[in-house]
Structure 1
Amino acid sequence: MKFRVERDVLAEAVTWVARGLPVRPAVPVLAGVLVEAGADGTLTLSAFDYEVSARVTVAAEVSEAGTALVLGRLLSDISRSLPADKPVDVATDGNKVSVTCGSSRFALLQMPAADYPTLPTQPTASGTIDGSTFAQAVAQVAIAADRGDTLPILTGVRVEIEGEKVTFLATDRYRLAMREFTWNPSDGDASHVALIPARTLAETARALGQGGSVAVALGQAAGGDGLVGFEAGQRHSTSRLLDGEYPKVSKIFPTTSETEAVVKTADLVEAVKRVALVAERNTPVRLRFSDGQVAIEAGAGDDAQASEAVEASVDGPEIEIAFNPGFLLDGLGALHMPYARLSFTQALKPAMLTGQSEVDGSPEVSYRYVLQPVRLTS
């Protein structure tokens, strides 16, 4: 195998493919990136850990077609450190792979490519989503997915497709996020429900949602397990789906409210960040909504204390409520709207957060974030 490729092209391709490589692979070859140089002048890089696969094809000057398997993270580190604006020459030499760029030269040990697993076949596309919409929607809901291992099913994002409507849903039992949007289905009567690992979905959305459109495909792997595929340009990835029945959490969304408050999102974010500086781990911040303002406090007794007031438009009875500051900031940061609307029923009932473009406008309910309050101790 022997080829020449632009340094930036190689670095970007290897970094993208290697981003999800396991730190402690079940078998050593899964730490590798498969490099395939084709006689047609293409270079394909692949990675697969039996759960997630990634593949990208770029143009290269191929002198000798061939295949090699090398440590993916090492190749990524090397390619990003090479001198800029110079071509990279890669060639196999016995059991080594040489990487040369200018006066820089590296020799990587080849891994047994014959032992590398075959990547799953990309399912037929079910439809396409605007890249920026896809990236934003995933980021808005993935923050609410569970990061622990106690309930693996909650580490996923539930994706429901009905015709042109797509609904993303995630919860970790303390907050719940839902985003609705439209896409372009291949079949107008399409109906799918899938549970995609949130971490994989978030990484994929960040990598593929930079522009253009993303093709999404739902199908099955060779063993019969559910499989989702994503494609944007020459980048392809697949992920096995989580198996199990997702809890029916939609009923948690409040349908009525006693008190509603509208506040500038940026002002509330900055105030909560400042007040939360004195909040010890797992200690909530307290918010008191009254006529014309929201007062934010943290700390009590002999502990450090902080307070701040932010102008707000409040409709309904005064209410005092406490939240985990990190969870509250996650929701506010995901709104991407100038104003935040907080809707309450009671101090210990879930509160709903939505965004709106104007202080007197209507809430944008395509994204809803529900947060469970923390019980205040006397």
Structure 2
Amino acid sequence: MKLILDHADLASAGGYAARSLPARPVAPVLAGLLLDARDGTLRVSSFDYDISADTVVPATVADDGRAVVSGRLLADIVARVRGNVDLELTGPRLVLRAGSARFTLPTLPLEEYPALPEAGATSGTLPGPGLAEAVAQVACAVGKDDTLPVLTGIQLRHDQEDGTLTLAATDRYRFAVRTIGWKNCDLTADRTALAPGKPFLDAVKAAADDTTIDLALPDSSGSNGLFTLRTDHRTTTLRALEGDLPKYQSLFPTEFHHTATVEIAALKAAVQRVALVATKESPLRLTFAADNTLVLEAGTSDEAQAVDNVDTNLDGDELTVAFNPAFLLDGLDALTAESVDFNFTTSTKPAVLRGHGSDEQALRYLLMPIRIS
């Protein structure tokens, strides 16, 4: 293997593939990147049996060949060199030259590297920036408890009648739901699958600048349990999680007795200030008053206390509700509107947060209140 390519192309390809490398690979060879030079291109790939990343960049190839080298080391090197990069495989070593710098890297056993998974047939096309925004919005509610793996996922549900894709996530304390429209959808029936939350978010972020993303959902038969995200030069596959999220449709009320609209920037600043004294025993308390003032309180008479207020527009009777401040801030950060609508049935039932003036496909963030003693 012998080739020349621009350092920016190699850095982009190496960085894309290396982000999927496992922190603790089950086999040493899985810590490597597979380099495949042929037909005027360099293909850079990573795979750990659950996630694969594959990208192609242009190169001047003098000799075709394949090699596996330490992925993180290669990514670190190419991120710091400039100009053209010469790669040459010499026996069990890969020699990298860039300007005055020269690196000699040991290779890993090529014969032990597993075959990359077969990418699934495209289910439909989505706008790159729009999908990245939608996934980031629901990802704030992804669970972090690995003992409950189903809650660490993001559910994708295709609605055949509406031609939409709905994303949902929950950690039992909040539920985030967002809908986005498909283009060129090739599915013929409803389909639901659960993607691993953080890897799916990372994959979508990496492709956020692409105009479109071709997305393949796992087969309904279960024969191909892979999600595939494909752009012009990049492909990522993710093994689907087993199980389903709790049915959320019945959790979201359709009628509300109280609705309050608050400017998000002002509310976030007030929450961050008052939350400084909040504790598990004394969470953030919000009183939506009849005089269109939202009073925020935390702390107890025996400990530090804080009080602040912001303007609101309340439709309904006054009520007081308590929330985990971090969960509330997550929801406010995920909304893309200037103001938030708080929708309540009672102070002890889940509240639904939505961007003021948003449509039916926009983010819905359901937040469980904390009972006030």
- What's the offset of the Cα at 1:298? 1.6
Residue 9 of structure 1 corresponds to which residue in structure 2? 9
Aligned partners of 1:306, 1:170: CA distance in 2, in Å?
32
- What's the offset of the Cα at 1:135? 0.4
Aligned partners of 2:144, 2:305: CA distance in 1, in Å?
30
SS at match of 2:10: helix
Q: Is the counterpart of residue 312 in structure 1 residue 307 in structure 2?
A: no
Check the 8 A contact 2:262/2:339 in 1, yes or no: yes
Residue 111 of structure 1 corresponds to which residue in structure 2? 108
TM-score by length of 2: 0.95
- What's the offset of the Cα at 1:317? 1.0
Q: Is the counterpart of residue 374 in structure 1 residue 373 in structure 2?
A: no
Check the 8 A contact 2:352/2:364 in 1, yes or no: yes
Check the 8 A contact 1:124/1:219 in 2, yes or no: no
- What's the offset of the Cα at 1:281? 6.2
Residue 359 of structure 1 corresponds to which residue in structure 2? none
Corresponding letter in the other structure for 1:213: T
- What's the offset of the Cα at 1:188? 6.3
Q: Any idea what the Cα deviations from partners look like across 1:290-339, whole Å, max 9, x if unmatched?
A: 12111111211232222211111011111111111111111111111011
Aligned partners of 1:283, 1:330: CA distance in 2, in Å?
19
Q: Is the counterpart of residue 184 in structure 1 residue 180 in structure 2?
A: no
Aligned partners of 2:281, 2:243: CA distance in 1, in Å?
30
Residue 324 of structure 1 corresponds to which residue in structure 2? 324
Residue 34 of structure 2 corresponds to which residue in structure 1? 34
- What's the offset of the Cα at 1:123? 1.1
- What's the offset of the Cα at 1:282? 7.7
Alignment counterpart, residue 160 of structure 1, candidates 125, 146, 157: 157
Aligned partners of 1:193, 1:185: CA distance in 2, in Å?
18
Residue 58 of structure 1 corresponds to which residue in structure 2? 57
Check the 8 A contact 2:120/2:224 in 1, yes or no: no
Aligned partners of 1:159, 1:306: CA distance in 2, in Å?
41
Corresponding letter in the other structure for 2:346: Q
Aligned partners of 1:183, 1:282: CA distance in 2, in Å?
45
Q: Is the counterpart of residue 138 in structure 1 residue 135 in structure 2?
A: yes
Structure 1 pair 186–245 and aligned structure 2 pair: CA distance change class (3 A): closer
Check the 8 A contact 1:355/1:365 in 2, yes or no: no
Check the 8 A contact 2:125/2:182 in 1, yes or no: yes
Q: Is the counterpart of residue 100 in structure 1 residue 97 in structure 2?
A: yes
Aligned partners of 1:187, 1:110: CA distance in 2, in Å?
42
Residue 195 of structure 2 corresponds to which residue in structure 1? 196
Query: After superposition, where does 1:328-347 map in structure 2 within 5 Å?
Result: 328-347=328-347
Aligned partners of 2:176, 2:281: CA distance in 1, in Å?
21
State the identity as a percent. 42
- What's the offset of the Cα at 1:287? 0.8
Q: Tell me which moved more, 246-255 or 234-243.
A: 246-255
Residue 85 of structure 2 corresponds to which residue in structure 1? 88
Structure 1 pair 311–115 and aligned structure 2 pair: CA distance change class (3 A): same
SS at match of 1:107: strand
- What's the offset of the Cα at 1:233? 1.4
Check the 8 A contact 1:147/1:155 in 2, yes or no: yes
Alignment counterpart, residue 365 of structure 1, candidates 322, 341, 360: 360
Check the 8 A contact 2:282/2:300 in 1, yes or no: no
Aligned partners of 2:324, 2:260: CA distance in 1, in Å?
19
Query: After superposition, where does 1:205-354 map in structure 2 within 5 Å?
Result: 205-219=204-218, 224-280=223-279, 284-290=283-289, 291-354=291-354
Corresponding letter in the other structure for 1:238: T
Check the 8 A contact 1:159/1:166 in 2, yes or no: yes
Corresponding letter in the other structure for 2:248: V
Aligned partners of 1:319, 1:169: CA distance in 2, in Å?
29
Corresponding letter in the other structure for 2:16: W
SS at match of 1:364: coil
Aligned partners of 1:190, 1:269: CA distance in 2, in Å?
41
- Gapped runs of 5+ residues in structure 2? none
Check the 8 A contact 2:169/2:245 in 1, yes or no: no
Aligned partners of 1:187, 1:20: CA distance in 2, in Å?
28
Aligned partners of 2:187, 2:74: CA distance in 1, in Å?
43
- Gapped runs of 5+ residues in structure 1? 357-361
Aligned partners of 2:281, 2:225: CA distance in 1, in Å?
37
Structure 1 pair 188–72 and aligned structure 2 pair: CA distance change class (3 A): closer
Q: CA RMSD in A?
A: 1.7
Aligned partners of 1:162, 1:293: CA distance in 2, in Å?
41
- What's the offset of the Cα at 1:279? 2.4
Q: Any idea what the Cα deviations from partners look like across 1:10-44, whole Å, max 9, x if unmatched?
A: 11110111102111111111111001111x11000
Q: Any idea what the Cα deviations from partners look like across 1:108-142, whole Å, max 9, x if unmatched?
A: 11000110010111111111001111001101111
Aligned partners of 1:338, 1:297: CA distance in 2, in Å?
23
Aligned partners of 1:103, 1:280: CA distance in 2, in Å?
57
Check the 8 A contact 1:225/1:241 in 2, yes or no: no
Structure 1 pair 210–130 and aligned structure 2 pair: CA distance change class (3 A): same
Aligned partners of 2:347, 2:370: CA distance in 1, in Å?
9
TM-score by length of 1: 0.94
Structure 1 pair 187–61 and aligned structure 2 pair: CA distance change class (3 A): same
Q: Tell me which moved more, 13-22 or 185-194.
A: 185-194
Check the 8 A contact 1:159/1:196 in 2, yes or no: yes
Check the 8 A contact 2:274/2:308 in 1, yes or no: yes
